[in-house]
């Protein structure tokens, strides 16, 4: 991370903390905001949050590592979460899972090299009557079948054109 | 940006919500609060104070309930589930350690369901525990092992770990972490956060991946650990231990060219007996001396000698700082903090680096000793310091780190080669086939024996302060300490209250002793004590770094303690006698017994004031010739610190 | 379709709230008590008792928390309610807040429902402008507001003390009780945590009276229940039924004929075999938070058990021994069964372990995670024993990749 980026993140976290009056119960919304923007809560961010809330960095780490929507390592731009619950299983989740792995060339729990997609299982999405269901960030897809998988992925790939992909890769290497 | 708040001040720490601290119970019938509640445990009826836990009540009724995550020193967790009992009208089993009795209840501590549950909990823990008992330092002193025996575990019902899964973290000079043996009781986490306010450890991840980790699971040497070892003392298994140098020490003993000397701190002698089955509080100083010699050490010295030396140096430093502050108007040098406790030193380097100018520049007694052994002693004995192996017997794991500080080379060599804990010494003694309890007594070797009782009480919280008061009062007032304090016992600084405070009005002024002549010559001290006329010395004592944090935050906020002149801080609860290298287990009553032994031995000594120690006086005549805080002493006995901060990059 | 009712559909916004504010707090609680309503999350604790315990504690600060962490596998009625019954929900929260004396209500919304947040926020803003929230709501002199707070992906946070831990910025690890949240809840203040459906029902009860509510259901289980029905049936969806309905009737409703079992109450619920389809839903027999998964005749019940245990292994907070270490052992056991490698003796050990988990775990998650395993190994012995390994479908390996 660049020193200037650090400074701006530090500033951002300070502002967030201000909003929550530096109280510990502001921790979750702060972490969620950071995760959403930076796709992870980095070691630096955890220490800043700790400093602002008057807790130990390890405690923040304990919290971040507990919740499945928070991560210490950067997630892909689009996080695909496939519902693993029984009803979706009955409805053909396994086939969708296999197709997702094939299309992306990664296993569940991994992120594509271009940092575009992360693939995960998640707890019941509450779409049991319309399974299999998956989330791409905050978009819900229901009655997904293997055919549909590549269309869904294509949609997000297109949202993220070649130019910006290049940018992304540069950022990654920096 | 706000002041960094101590996490204990926040409503809840991640380890355990404050609502789960013992006795914090609201509700029930208001009339009952503060009153007695009747409870029936296994047909024994008794009345207990409102809010007493079932575990405590059972104990008073003489009923044993097994525990694992519970520890007397810590807030409640209720996670291991070994202490479950039946409570009438409750559908599920309840953990006796957390269940407060707020209304009359009937409890059954043993039933088919309870036995089955406890057995299952043990079976499950054993299935995850890398139980290499023969090679574990907690063999025969392991709570998991003891429970397995108590509950007749006869086979590994749910399997057994054949190979260690995690790499052992040996990065720290002081503490070794072996998560293969961890049972996730979280005592270490609670110790580190609640008792010590250091926060190195946390429960991380979740599910069956839950582990105790440092920040991002980094090696212990790379995170903010003060090496106090309190986690070791509270670990029920061998997951945490001190880094043991005994193999290297044996090698030195076996090497005929090496002159192996031992210095022994005051606390181990009051506790090492516990390793040999003696009751806590049995002082075995002179038997221990014999044992150490028989184990092969060439000399056994008393660290209390350099404790006495510390008092002269640190007391002088205090007078000098007071002079600078009161007469010359210098700011930012008071209160003077003691620097004997290496855990505390690292704590302040990390969390309050801005106060390092207030930290006494005196080395700890261990390091003063180390510097003298390889200089003064080597010259006197005509031994090449390169051939001296200097070992310290300490109640402490942080002393290992301290000995390895790069600045601790005043003699031109590593001043202290190895810091050995009480536990490790006991192990060496056993290994040498020696039964400590049946040994003849013997004295320490000279010139570092016959130290004062003041040096001895360094082992208890408040001890350094009391020793300093005995000396400073006599030096300044010309009175005998006994004239000011009955039997020269400074009672207000004793005991286990977290932070102790005392004011001492200076009743009269005496002549300035000749010892300070060179300081007076340099203008560092006045020729008379007139500038102290009518002064009141304000002092405070804290033990356990959570208390130290409270104290420091008060000072930062300009509170009462900011007005203090001198503050003693010991990193470990109870002071050194509760150190991270002391025999396991530890509890308030064990620490109290050790303190009693130390104060008892002090009372029995003829010499009870540091400045009367003839060997120290001789040292100033022969070696540190320009007196306390002179150039010689600065070269060998004083040090500097590193502002470390609390940020990890 | 005689069993389907729609009593909780039509609701005049503000109607229940207006009635509530015109009464004393005690009267509101009395009304709720008279309705006999019990918590809709599954545990079935009487709502009026909870509110009253909270109301009687003297405290500057109190909270009412709406548990919208709908994570029980197979439950989706809250998703629907949060999208379509927001008026009644917010009324319900406000009524509850008024009854216990809270100034702030918090909706704890699961991270998986983040997409619903803007809608809820918009509705809250609307209510503030129309005087249904904020200072002196409806001119009553009462101040009350509602905040939406997000979960971050942890099933266990549906447990009320874990939810509170999460709100306080901690790991979602359930607390010891006592003390109970009604006494010592969010930041130490008395806190009532109520299910979405419960709060909506309370708004209806206030609007229409307790007698109206009692007309539905049974003596011990008054009112109606929303069921989230999924699995092997023709018409999955959310159904509102009166308590006391039999499983056979539920199967009829959704077109699940031929089912060999019904999973009642989600992964933490009970696996009811066909022979017991006469059993009725209600606190007298089969209490449920509303998840109904129809298990068709072709399904392998060991797959079902594996799916659930895999879930519980992952979602255990990792705090207490029976749950953290017990669930993986049960999962291994299911895999052994699948491969025909589990002795009857070991199965018995695992069943004993399951009962220990029920009795000795710290919270509802661990206390219920063995339910399906115990039911399946009890009721379907001929199906699960003596397999040859080829029949074991699926990889048998735990699904990796969550919370990496």
CB C187 within 8 A of CB A25: yes
Domain that holds residue B31: 7-110
Let me know whether A55 and A110 are in one domain.
no
Q: Do C178 and B14 touch (CB under 8 A)?
A: no
In a domain, A72, yes or no: no
The alpha carbon torsion through B405, B407, B410, B411 (nearest 10 deg) reads 50
Cα separation, B192 vs B197, whole angstroms: 6
**pLDDT single digits (tens) B177-192:** 999 999 999 999 999 9
Cα separation, A90 vs C402, whole angstroms: 20
Let me know whether A53 and A84 are in one domain.
no
Residue C300 pLDDT grade (very low, low, confident, very high; cuts 50, 70, 90): very high
3-state secondary structure of C378: helix
Let me know whether B475 and B493 are in one domain.
yes
Let me know whether A143 and A110 are in one domain.
yes
Q: How many helices (H) and strands (E) does chain C have?
A: 16, 9
Mean pLDDT of C349-373: 98
Let me know whether B359 and B374 are in one domain.
no
ipTM: 0.94
Let me know whether A15 and A99 are in one domain.
no
**Nearest CA distance, C184 vs chain B (angstrom):** 7
Decide if pLDDT at B1 tops 50: no
In a domain, B445, yes or no: no
**CA B189 vs CA B177, B510, C165, C316: distances in Å:** 13, 51, 17, 20
Residue B220 pLDDT grade (very low, low, confident, very high; cuts 50, 70, 90): very high
Percent of chain B that is helix, strand, coil (3-state, to 5): 40, 15, 45
**Average predicted confidence (pLDDT) for chain A:** 92
Residue C268 CB coordination number (10 Å): 25
Pair type for strands A117-122 and B105-108: unpaired
Buried b (16+ CB within 10 A) or exposed e, B147-156: bbeebebeee
According to DSSP, residue B270 is labeled T
**pLDDT single digits (tens) A56-83:** 999 999 999 999 999 999 999 999 999 9
Decide if pLDDT at B19 tops 70: no
Q: How many helices (H) and strands (E) does chain A have?
A: 8, 4
In a domain, A113, yes or no: yes
Q: Do A32 and C152 touch (CB under 8 A)?
A: yes
Decide if pLDDT at B13 tops 70: no
Q: Report the CATH number at residue A46.
A: 1.10.10
Residue C397 pLDDT grade (very low, low, confident, very high; cuts 50, 70, 90): very low
Let me know whether B78 and B152 are in one domain.
no
Residue B446 CB coordination number (10 Å): 12
Q: Report the CATH number at residue B376.
A: 3.40.50.1780
Please list the residues that pair with B40 across neighbouring strands. B45, B106
Spatial neighbors of C246 by CB under 8 A, at least 6 apart, are C277, C278, C279, C280, C281
Residue C324 contacts B, CB cutoff 8 Å = yes
In a domain, B1, yes or no: no
What is the pLDDT, as a whole number, of residue A161? 63
Question: Nearest 5°: phi and psi at A83?
Answer: -70, 130
Q: Report the CATH number at residue B572.
A: 3.40.950.10
Mean pLDDT of B427-441: 96
Residue A71 CB coordination number (10 Å): 21
In a domain, B2, yes or no: no
Residue C42 pLDDT grade (very low, low, confident, very high; cuts 50, 70, 90): confident
Residue A14 contacts B, CB cutoff 8 Å = yes
Domain count of the fold of chain A:
2
Last residue of a domain, one of A20, A39, A66: A66
Let me know whether A43 and A95 are in one domain.
no
Decide if pLDDT at C43 tops 90: no
Percent of chain C with pLDDT over 90: 92
Q: Which long-range contacts (CB under 8 A, 24 or more apart) does B143-149 make?
A: B143/B68, B143/B236, B143/B237, B144/B68, B144/B183, B144/B236, B144/B237, B147/B66, B147/B68, B147/B82, B147/B122, B148/B122
Decide if pLDDT at B8 tops 80: no
Residue A167 pLDDT grade (very low, low, confident, very high; cuts 50, 70, 90): low
Mean pLDDT of B21-41: 61
What is the pLDDT, as a whole number, of residue B31? 43
Minimal CA–CA distance to C109: which of C100, C118, C96?
C118
Residue B37 pLDDT grade (very low, low, confident, very high; cuts 50, 70, 90): very high
Let me know whether B353 and B371 are in one domain.
no
Q: Could you tell me where the DSSP H helices lie in C316-400?
A: 321-338, 344-360, 364-368, 371-379, 381-384
Mean pLDDT of B501-507: 96
Residue A59 contacts B, CB cutoff 8 Å = yes
Let me know whether B427 and B542 are in one domain.
no
According to DSSP, residue C397 is labeled S
What stretch of H or E contains B500? strand B499-505
Decide if pLDDT at C238 tops 90: yes
In a domain, B643, yes or no: no
Cα separation, C32 vs B573, whole angstroms: 52
Cα separation, A167 vs A172, whole angstroms: 9
What is the pLDDT, as a whole number, of residue A128? 95
3-state secondary structure of A14: helix
Last residue of a domain, one of A28, A43, A66: A66
- How many A×C Cβ pairs under 8 Å? 160
**pLDDT single digits (tens) C137-162:** 999 999 999 999 999 999 999 999 99
Q: Which residues of chain B approach chain A closer than 8 Å at the C-beta? A: 1-7, 9-14, 193, 198-206, 213-216, 223, 647-648
Chain centroid offset of residue A142 CA: 20
Instruction: Clarify whether B407 is annotated catalytic.
Output: yes
Residue B11 pLDDT grade (very low, low, confident, very high; cuts 50, 70, 90): very low
What is the pLDDT, as a whole number, of residue C3? 74
Residue C390 pLDDT grade (very low, low, confident, very high; cuts 50, 70, 90): low
**Nearest CA distance, A152 vs chain B (angstrom):** 31
What is the pLDDT, as a whole number, of residue A2? 82
According to DSSP, residue B195 is labeled I
**Nearest CA distance, A114 vs chain C (angstrom):** 18
Decide if pLDDT at A174 tops 50: no
In this structure, what token pair is assigned to residue B488? 């020269």
**pLDDT single digits (tens) C191-236:** 999 999 999 999 999 999 999 999 999 999 999 999 999 999 999 9
B touches which chains (3+ CB pairs under 8 A)?
Answer: A, C
* Catalytic residue from among B80, B192, B340, B629: B340
Q: Select from B19, B124, B207 the Cβ nearest to the Cβ of C313.
A: B207
Q: Bin B529: left if φ > 0, else alpha if -120 < ψ < 50, else beta.
A: alpha
In this structure, what token pair is assigned to residue B441? 């007594």
Residue B112 CB coordination number (10 Å): 7
Mean pLDDT of B358-371: 98
Mean pLDDT of B355-372: 98
Let me know whether A107 and A162 are in one domain.
yes
In a domain, A135, yes or no: yes
Cα separation, A150 vs A152, whole angstroms: 5
Minimal CA–CA distance to B361: which of B637, B554, B88, B173?
B637
Bond from prior residue into B232 cis (ω within 30 degrees of 0): no
Mean pLDDT of B606-625: 96
**pLDDT single digits (tens) A78-113:** 999 999 999 999 999 999 999 999 999 999 999 999
Mean pLDDT of B371-387: 97
Residue B26 pLDDT grade (very low, low, confident, very high; cuts 50, 70, 90): very low
CA geometry: angle at A77 spanning A74 and A78, to 5°? 120
Picking from A24, A29, A31, A87 by the largest number of C CB atoms within 10 A of its own CB, the best residue to mutate is A87
- Least confident piece of the model among B26-40, B446-460, C68-82: B26-40
In this structure, what token pair is assigned to residue A45? 């961010």
Instruction: Clarify whether B133 is annotated catalytic.
Output: no
Let me know whether A84 and A61 are in one domain.
no
Last residue of a domain, one of B384, B412, B438: B438
Q: Select from A25, A59, A72 the Cβ nearest to the Cβ of B7.
A: A59
Residue C6 pLDDT grade (very low, low, confident, very high; cuts 50, 70, 90): confident
Q: Select from C167, C172, C293 the Cβ nearest to the Cβ of A25.
A: C167
**Nearest CA distance, C207 vs chain A (angstrom):** 29
CB B188 within 8 A of CB B240: yes
Let me know whether A148 and A62 are in one domain.
no
Quick one: angle between helices B463-477 and B304-326, nearest 10?
A: 60
Let me know whether A102 and A164 are in one domain.
yes
Instruction: Clarify whether B399 is annotated catalytic.
Output: yes
DSSP for B560-605? GGGG-SEEEEESSTTSGGG-TTSPS---HHHHHHHHHHHHHHHHH-
Domain count of the fold of chain B:
4
What is the pLDDT, as a whole number, of residue B326? 94
Q: Which residues of B touch A121 (CB under 8 A)?
A: none
Let me know whether A32 and A60 are in one domain.
yes
Q: Report the CATH number at residue B94.
A: 3.10.20.740
Let me know whether B38 and B177 are in one domain.
no
Last residue of a domain, one of A12, A38, A66: A66
What is the pLDDT, as a whole number, of residue C400? 41
**Average predicted confidence (pLDDT) for chain C:** 94
Full set of structural domains in chain C with CATH: 15-214 (3.40.50.11540), 224-295 (3.10.20.600), 301-391 (1.20.1440.230)
Pair type for strands C191-195 and C224-231: unpaired
Please list the residues that pair with B537 across neighbouring strands. B504
Percent of chain A with pLDDT over 70: 92
Q: Select from A24, A25, A56 the Cβ nearest to the Cβ of B199.
A: A56
Last residue of a domain, one of B188, B212, B241: B241
Cα separation, A139 vs B310, whole angstroms: 69
Cα separation, B620 vs B616, whole angstroms: 6
Residue C111 pLDDT grade (very low, low, confident, very high; cuts 50, 70, 90): very high
Mean pLDDT of B612-635: 96
What is the pLDDT, as a whole number, of residue A1? 74
Q: Select from C173, C329, C403 the Cβ nearest to the Cβ of B124.
A: C329
Q: Is the dihedral of CA C355, C358, C362, C366 positive or negative?
A: positive
Decide if pLDDT at B14 tops 70: no
Let me know whether B376 and B517 are in one domain.
no
**Nearest CA distance, A13 vs chain C (angstrom):** 15
Q: Report the CATH number at residue A100.
A: 3.40.30.10
**pLDDT single digits (tens) C177-198:** 999 999 999 999 999 999 999 9
A touches which chains (3+ CB pairs under 8 A)?
Answer: B, C
Domain that holds residue A95: 78-173
Decide if pLDDT at B396 tops 90: yes
Please list the residues that pair with A139 across neighbouring strands. A136
**pLDDT single digits (tens) C50-67:** 999 999 999 999 999 999
Decide if pLDDT at B424 tops 70: yes
Decide if pLDDT at C164 tops 60: yes
**pLDDT single digits (tens) B221-252:** 999 999 999 999 999 999 999 999 999 999 99
What is the pLDDT, as a whole number, of residue C2? 53
């Amino acid at each position: 991370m660049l020193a200037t980026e650090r400074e701006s993140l530090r500033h951002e976290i300070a502002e967030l903390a201000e909003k929550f009056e530096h109280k510990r119960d502001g921790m979750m919304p702060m972490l969620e905001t950071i995760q959403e923007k930076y796709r992870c809560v980095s070691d630096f961010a955890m220490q800043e949050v700790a400093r602002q809330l008057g807790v130990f960095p390890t405690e923040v780490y304990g919290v971040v590592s507990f919740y499945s929507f928070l991560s210490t390592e950067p997630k892909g731009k689009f996080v695909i979460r496939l519902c693993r619950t029984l009803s979706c299983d009955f409805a053909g989740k396994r086939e969708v899972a296999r197709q997702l792995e094939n299309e992306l060339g990664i296993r569940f729990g991994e992120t594509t090299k271009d940092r575009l997609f992360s693939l995960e299982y998640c707890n019941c999405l509450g779409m049991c009557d319309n399974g299999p269901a998956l989330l791409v960030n905050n978009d819900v897809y229901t009655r997904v079948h293997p055919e549909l998988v590549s269309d869904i992925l294509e949609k997000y790939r297109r949202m993220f054109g070649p130019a910006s992909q290049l940018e992304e890769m540069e950022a990654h290497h920096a | 940006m706000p002041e960094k708040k101590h996490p204990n001040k926040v409503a809840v720490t991640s380890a355990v919500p404050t609502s789960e601290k013992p006795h914090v119970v609201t509700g029930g019938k208001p009339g009952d609060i503060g009153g007695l509640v009747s409870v029936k445990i296994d047909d024994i009826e008794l009345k207990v104070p409102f809010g007493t836990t079932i575990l405590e009540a059972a104990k008073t009724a003489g009923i044993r309930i097994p525990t694992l995550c519970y520890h007397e020193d810590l807030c409640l967790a209720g996670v291991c589930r070994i202490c479950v009992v039946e409570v009438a009208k409750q559908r599920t089993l309840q953990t006796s350690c957390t269940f407060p009795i707020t209304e009359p209840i009937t409890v059954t501590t043993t039933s088919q369901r309870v036995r089955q549950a406890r057995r299952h909990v043990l079976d499950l823990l054993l299935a995850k525990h890398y139980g290499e008992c023969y090679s574990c330092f907690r063999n025969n002193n392991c709570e998991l092992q003891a429970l397995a025996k108590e509950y007749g575990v006869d086979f590994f019902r749910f399997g057994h770990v054949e190979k260690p899964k995690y790499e052992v973290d040996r990065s720290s000079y002081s503490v070794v972490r072996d998560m293969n043996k961890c049972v996730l009781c979280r005592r270490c986490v609670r110790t580190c956060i609640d008792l010590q306010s250091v926060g190195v450890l946390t429960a991380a991840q979740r599910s069956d991946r839950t582990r105790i980790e440092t920040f991002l699971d980094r090696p212990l040497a790379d995170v903010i650990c003060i090496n106090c070892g309190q986690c070791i003392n509270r670990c029920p298994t061998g997951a945490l231990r001190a880094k043991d140098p005994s193999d290297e020490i044996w090698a030195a003993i076996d090497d005929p060219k090496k002159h192996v000397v031992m210095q022994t701190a005051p606390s181990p002698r009051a506790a090492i007996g516990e390793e040999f089955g003696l009751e806590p509080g049995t002082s075995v100083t002179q038997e221990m001396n014999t044992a150490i010699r028989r184990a092969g050490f060439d000399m056994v010295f008393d660290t209390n000698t350099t404790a006495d030396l510390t008092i002269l140096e640190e007391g002088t430093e205090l007078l000098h700082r007071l002079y600078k502050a009161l007469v010359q108007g210098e700011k930012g040098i008071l209160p003077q903090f003691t620097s004997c406790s290496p855990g505390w030193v690292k704590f302040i380097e990390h969390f309050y680096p801005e106060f390092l100018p207030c930290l006494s520049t005196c080395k700890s007694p261990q390091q003063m000793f180390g510097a003298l052994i390889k200089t003064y002693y080597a010259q006197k004995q005509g031994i090449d310091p390169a051939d001296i192996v200097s070992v310290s017997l300490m109640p402490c794991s942080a002393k290992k780190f301290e000995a390895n500080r790069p600045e601790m080379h005043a003699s031109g060599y590593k001043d202290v080669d190895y810091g050995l804990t009480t536990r490790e010494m006991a192990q060496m003694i056993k290994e040498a086939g020696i039964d400590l309890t049946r040994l003849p007594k013997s004295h320490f070797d000279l010139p570092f024996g016959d130290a004062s009782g003041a040096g001895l009480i360094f082992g208890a919280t408040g001890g350094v302060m009391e020793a300093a008061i005995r000396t400073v009062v006599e030096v300044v007032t010309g009175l005998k300490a006994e004239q000011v304090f009955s039997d020269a016992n400074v009672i207000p600084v004793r005991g286990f209250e977290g932070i102790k405070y005392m004011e001492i009005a200076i009743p009269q002024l005496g002549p300035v002793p000749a010892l300070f002549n060179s300081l007076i010559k340099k203008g560092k001290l006045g020729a008379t004590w007139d500038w102290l006329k009518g002064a009141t010395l304000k002092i405070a004592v804290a033990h356990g770094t959570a208390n130290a944090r409270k104290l420091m935050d008060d000072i930062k906020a300009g509170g009462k303690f900011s007005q203090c002149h001198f503050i003693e801080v010991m990193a470990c609860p109870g002071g050194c006698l509760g150190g991270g290298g002391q025999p396991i287990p530890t509890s308030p009553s064990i620490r109290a017994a050790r303190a009693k032994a130390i104060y008892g031995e002090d009372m029995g000594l003829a010499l009870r004031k540091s400045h009367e120690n003839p060997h120290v006086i001789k040292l100033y005549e022969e070696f540190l010739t320009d007196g306390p805080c002179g150039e010689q002493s600065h070269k060998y006995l004083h040090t500097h610190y590193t502002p470390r901060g609390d940020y990890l990059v | 379709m005689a069993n389907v009712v729609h009593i909780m559909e039509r609701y005049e916004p503000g109607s229940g709230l207006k009635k509530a504010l015109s009464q004393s707090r005690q009267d509101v609680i009395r009304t709720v008590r008279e309705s006999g309503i019990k918590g809709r999350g599954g545990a079935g604790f009487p709502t009026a008792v909870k509110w009253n315990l909270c109301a009687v504690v003297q405290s500057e600060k109190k909270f009412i928390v709406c548990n919208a962490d709908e994570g029980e596998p197979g439950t989706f009625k809250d998703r629907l309610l949060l999208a379509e019954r927001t008026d009644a929900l917010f009324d319900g929260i406000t009524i509850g807040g008024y009854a216990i004396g809270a100034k702030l209500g918090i909706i704890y919304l699961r991270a998986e429902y983040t997409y619903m947040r803007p809608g809820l926020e918009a509705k809250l803003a609307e209510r503030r402008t129309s005087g249904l929230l904020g200072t002196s709501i409806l001119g009553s002199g009462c101040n009350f507001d509602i905040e939406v707070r997000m979960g971050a992906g942890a099933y266990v946070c549906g447990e009320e003390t874990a939810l509170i831990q999460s709100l306080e910025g901690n790991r979602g690890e359930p607390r010891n009780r006592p003390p109970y949240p009604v006494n010592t809840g969010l930041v130490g203040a008395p806190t009532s945590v109520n299910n979405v459906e419960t709060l909506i029902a309370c708004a209806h009860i206030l609007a229409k009276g307790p007698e109206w509510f009692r007309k539905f259901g049974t003596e011990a289980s008054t009112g109606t229940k929303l069921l989230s029905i999924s699995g092997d049936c023709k018409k999955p969806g959310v159904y509102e039924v009166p308590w006391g309905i039999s499983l056979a009737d539920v199967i009829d409703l959704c077109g699940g004929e031929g089912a060999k079992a019904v999973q009642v109450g989600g992964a933490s619920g009970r696996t009811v075999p066909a022979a017991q389809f006469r059993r009725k839903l209600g606190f007298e027999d089969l209490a449920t938070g509303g998840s109904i998964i129809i298990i068709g005749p072709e399904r392998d019940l060991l797959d079902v058990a594996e799916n659930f245990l895999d879930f519980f292994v992952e979602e255990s907070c990792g705090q207490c021994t029976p749950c953290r270490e017990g669930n993986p052992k049960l999962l291994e056991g299911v895999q052994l069964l699948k491969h025909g490698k589990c002795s009857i003796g070991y199965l018995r050990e695992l069943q004993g372990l399951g009962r220990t988990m029920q009795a000795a775990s710290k919270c509802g998650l661990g206390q219920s995670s063995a339910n399906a395993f115990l039911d399946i190994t009890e009721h379907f012995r001929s199906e699960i024993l003596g397999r040859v390994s080829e029949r074991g479908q699926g990889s048998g390996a735990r699904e990796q990749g969550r919370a990496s």
